[in-house]
């Protein structure tokens, strides 16, 4: 039986696509990409953001609330960037469906990719329960979503040394 192909947030493989132009490389995930067991994606770039750009957080709910129009994604200076996040989530879903992807490994706490816990919208690094916009959409379509932290723990990589800085 062929091994199931996954998607990995591009920043986790070392692509400098985080809002500030950095990456969040995790060697175990970069290896999956090099071995062609995972393809890369960045919902924020797919949605139209250039890098770098202002950080964003969800206000008034979580990703599923953004998807149904009950919450918004805003930049640090208060600009409404919800449409960028919705476009990126939709593009990511199309990519996953086109390639038969059933699992996505995504960056923890992100307003796009966060799964289970995200920043609370106050830009104070406080966390709340919930998923990012893309994570919520993928889950709604039956795609398993794990954070980088969950996946690496699951395969036995738990040390901080699994993070390789820029």
Rounded to the nearest 10 degrees, what angle do helices 82-98 and 133-140 cross at? 40
Rounded to an integer, the average pLDDT of 33-59 is 97
Tell me, what's the pLDDT at 105? Answer: 97
Specify whether the CB–CB gap between 96 and 7 falls below 8 A.
yes
pLDDT surpassing 80 at residue 2: no
Question: What distance in Å separates the CA atoms of residue 72 and residue 63, rounded to the nearest whole number?
Answer: 9
Q: Has residue 95 been placed in a domain?
A: yes
Q: How many domains does the chain have?
A: 1
Residue 1 placed within a domain: no
Average pLDDT, the chain: 93
| pLDDT tens string 72-108 | 999 999 999 999 999 999 999 999 999 999 999 999 9
Position 136 in a domain: yes
| Full-model pTM | 0.92
**Residue numbers of the domain that contains 85:** 6-161
DSSP string, 88-120: HHHHHHHHHHHTT--EEEE-TB-TTT--SEEE-
Establish if 100 belongs to a structural domain.
yes
Q: Where in 20-157 does DSSP place strands (E)?
A: 38-41, 56-59, 72-75, 103-106, 117-119, 127-129, 144-147
**107 lies in a domain?**
yes
State CA 118 to chain mean position distance: 11
Any domain includes 49: yes
> Is 98 within a domain?
yes
Whether residue 166 is contained in a domain is answered as no
């Amino acid at each position: 039986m062929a091994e199931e192909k996954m998607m990995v947030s591009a920043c986790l493989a070392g692509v400098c696509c985080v809002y500030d132009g950095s990456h969040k490389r995790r060697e175990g995930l970069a290896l999956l990409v090099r071995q062609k067991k995972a393809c890369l994606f960045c919902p924020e770039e797919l949605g139209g953001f250039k890098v770098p750009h202002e950080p964003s957080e969800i206000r008034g709910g979580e990703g599923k609330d953004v998807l149904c129009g009950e919450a918004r994604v805003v930049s640090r200076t208060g600009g409404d960037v919800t449409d960028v996040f919705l476009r990126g989530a939709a593009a990511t879903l199309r990519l996953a469906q086109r390639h038969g992807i059933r699992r996505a490994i995504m960056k923890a706490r992100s307003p796009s990719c966060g799964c289970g816990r995200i920043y609370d919208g106050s830009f104070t690094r406080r966390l709340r329960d919930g998923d990012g916009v893309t994570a919520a959409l993928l889950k709604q379509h039956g795609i398993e979503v794990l954070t980088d932290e969950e996946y690496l723990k699951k395969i036995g990589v738990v040390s901080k040394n699994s993070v390789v800085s820029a």
